[in-house]
């Protein structure tokens, strides 16, 4: 069990992903400033309409893009490790402090053909869309310990689907889920609605992850 500051957001952060954040609330200015000073991690949990999800991902700050005079910040964070939030309460600086248990996949093995099928259909989608630029993926460039999480960042998933993948502890299960998702949306991506669905909720950026 470990205590970390908790930042509830309408965001699902995946391990080994990068995401830009604008920090403007006083309590989260305090949290980010403390993490920068102590080189500490904090946790991001998806805040849904039903409340805060208990499975989240720890984050490290990889870059401060801008520091405003009033204390606001533009930063880039990288996802580190998943956890389950056991309890939380307001801390001294009014942001949440939670007790978390970190966890790994129960099974992170997968058939390489599963990944190849996912990348192939993803690239078919990327080649089909003409009105926006979607980069294709060369399978040899996938260096993530979690290929499914790398693919999921640009998959046009609804945020609830992202949370489902974050909570899954089986890499093969996640790849199968993504393949079925890509297969479902492929016929729609020539339409405006299909393209909008593909890019909605996308805010992930190319990661510049810290060396371990």
Domains annotated on the chain, with CATH: 2-102 (2.30.130.40), 112-199 (no CATH)
Q: Which residues of 41-62 are buried (b: 16+ CB within 10 A; e: fewer)?
A: bbbbbbeeeeebbbbbbbbbbe
Contacts of 198 (CB under 8 A, 6+ apart): 125, 129, 134, 156, 185, 189
* pTM for the whole structure: 0.89
DSSP-derived secondary structure letter, 210: P
Report the chain (212 residues): mean pLDDT per 10 consecutive residues.
94 94 95 95 95 97 95 95 93 88 93 93 84 80 86 88 97 96 84 57 53 39
Query: What is the distance between the alpha carbons of residues 98 and 80, in angstroms, rounded to a whole number?
Result: 17
Per residue, the 3-state secondary structure of 3-53, as one string, reads: EEEEEEECCCCCCCCEEEEEECCHHHHHHHHHHHHHCCCEEEEEEECCEEC
- 58: its two tokens: 């720890």
Determine the distance from the C-alpha atom of residue 188 to the mean position of all C-alpha atoms in its chain, rounded to a whole number.
Answer: 25
Chain centroid to CA 211: 19
Instruction: Quick: pLDDT tens for 10-39.
Output: 999 999 999 999 999 999 999 999 999 999
Contact partners, residue 159, CB within 8 Å, separation at least 6: 10, 11, 12, 46, 48, 201
């Amino acid at each position: 069990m470990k205590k970390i500051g908790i930042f509830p957001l309408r965001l699902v952060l995946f391990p080994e992903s990068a995401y830009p954040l604008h920090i403007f609330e006083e309590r989260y200015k305090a949290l980010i400033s403390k993490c920068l000073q102590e080189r500490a991690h904090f946790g991001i949990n998806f805040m849904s309409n039903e409340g805060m999800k208990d499975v989240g991902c720890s984050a490290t700050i990889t870059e401060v893009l801008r520091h405003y005079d009033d204390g606001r910040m533009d930063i880039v964070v990288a996802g580190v490790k998943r956890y389950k939030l056991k309890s939380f309460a307001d801390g001294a600086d009014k942001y949440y402090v939670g007790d978390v248990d970190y966890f790994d996949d129960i099974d992170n093995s997968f058939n390489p053909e599963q990944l190849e099928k996912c990348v192939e259909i993803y690239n078919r989608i990327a080649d089909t869309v003409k009105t926006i630029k979607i980069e294709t993926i060369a399978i040899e460039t996938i260096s993530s310990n979690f290929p499914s999480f790398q693919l999921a960042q640009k998959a046009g998933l609804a945020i609830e689907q992202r949370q489902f993948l974050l909570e899954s502890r089986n890499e093969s299960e996640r790849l199968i889920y993504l393949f079925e998702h890509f297969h479902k949306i492929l016929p729609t991506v020539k339409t405006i609605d299909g393209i909008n669905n593909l890019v909605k909720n996308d805010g992930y950026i190319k990661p510049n992850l810290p060396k371990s």
